[in-house]
């Protein structure tokens, strides 16, 4: 009862942002400027089709196929497109490879630029002031909050996405994965590993 009331409260016009967005959609629909079915289709795309599983496939292929990895380094947009992957906020891709010496981390200090075509929509923290302000000045402190503590000798390279290039981090392939298929490898590749706030999972997780 109280619970029902709360749910009701959360979903209807008593919530100011819900009311504001509903009003805007109503006005634009009445004027024939937007098609609610098109909005449904956009939402469905990012809820069910586009997400980090796509980037994980790219990484697993790069780990398994040196020629593909080389192409990805030179022309990530074309290499990724060869797998049938393209799209909004992934028009101009750059793949940056972690090495034993250097860890890469991606941020957009000025807004929320993120490679949607391979990672889907960004998480809230990626778009929020704490991450955007600190990633460029205190990346080790940021990584520690993701439980990733790198040796002090490891170089950190932060890529601030200030233009239309969208960066995908290719994490190091974990040890003990020689026998794994691409599909099994893809399961080790987390979203955070492709932003740089994580590393690939150990094979026990596959």
Partner 1 sequence: MNGPQDLGGQMGFGPIAPEKDEPIFHAGWEKRALGLTIAAGAMGHWNIDESRHTRESLHPADYYSSTYYEIWIKGLERLLQRHGFVTAQELKEGHSISKGTDPKRTLKAENVAAALAKGGPCDRPVAGAPRFKAGDRVRTHNFNPETHTRLPRYARGKRGIVDAVREGFVFPDSNAHGKGENPQYLYTIVFSAPELWGDGADPKLTVSIDAWESYLEPA
Q: Does 83 bind partner 1 (CB under 8 A)?
A: no
Q: Quick one: 46 or 181, whose CB is closer to partner 1?
A: 46
Q: Does 133 bind partner 1 (CB under 8 A)?
A: yes
Of residues 6, 11, 65, 70, which one binds partner 1 by CB under 8 A?
Answer: 11
With b for 16 or more beta-carbon neighbours within 10 A and e for fewer, the 105-140 pattern comes to: bbbbbeeebbbbbbbbebeeebeeeebbeebeeebe
112 is catalytic: yes
Q: Quick one: 65 or 138, whose CB is closer to partner 1?
A: 138
- Which contacts of 143-152 are long-range, i.e. CB under 8 A and separated by 24 or more positions? 143/103, 143/105, 143/197, 146/192, 146/197, 146/198, 148/197, 148/198, 148/199, 150/103
Instruction: Supply 14's token pair.
Output: 């008593």
Q: Quick one: 46 or 65, whose CB is closer to partner 1?
A: 46
173-192: which residues touch partner 1 (CB under 8 A)?
192
Q: Which of 64, 82, 86, 113 is catalytic?
A: 113
Shortest distance, CB of residue 173 to partner 1, whole angstroms? Answer: 23
Residues classed as catalytic: 108, 111-113
């Amino acid at each position: 009862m109280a619970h029902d009331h709360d749910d009701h409260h959360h979903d209807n016009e008593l919530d100011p942002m819900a009311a504001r967005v509903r009003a805007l959609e109503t006005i634009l629909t009445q004027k024939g400027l937007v098609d609610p079915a098109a909005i449904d289709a956009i939402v469905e795309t990012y809820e069910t089709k586009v997400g980090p599983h796509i980037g994980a496939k790219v990484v697993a292929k790069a780990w398994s196929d040196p020629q593909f990895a080389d192409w990805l380094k030179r022309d990530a947009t074309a290499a990724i497109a060869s797998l049938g992957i393209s799209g909004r906020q992934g028009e101009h891709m750059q793949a940056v490879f972690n090495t034993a010496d250097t860890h890469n981390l991606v941020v957009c200090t000025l807004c929320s630029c993120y490679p949607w075509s391979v990672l889907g929509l960004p998480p809230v923290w990626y778009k929020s002031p704490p991450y955007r302000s600190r990633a460029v000045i205190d990346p080790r402190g940021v990584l520690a909050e993701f439980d990733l503590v790198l040796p002090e000798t490891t170089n950190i390279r932060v890529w601030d996405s200030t233009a239309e290039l969208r960066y995908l981090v290719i994490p190091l392939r974990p040890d003990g994965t020689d026998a794994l298929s691409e599909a099994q490898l893809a399961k080790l590749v987390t979203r955070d590993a492709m932003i740089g706030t994580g590393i690939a999972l150990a094979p026990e997780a596959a």
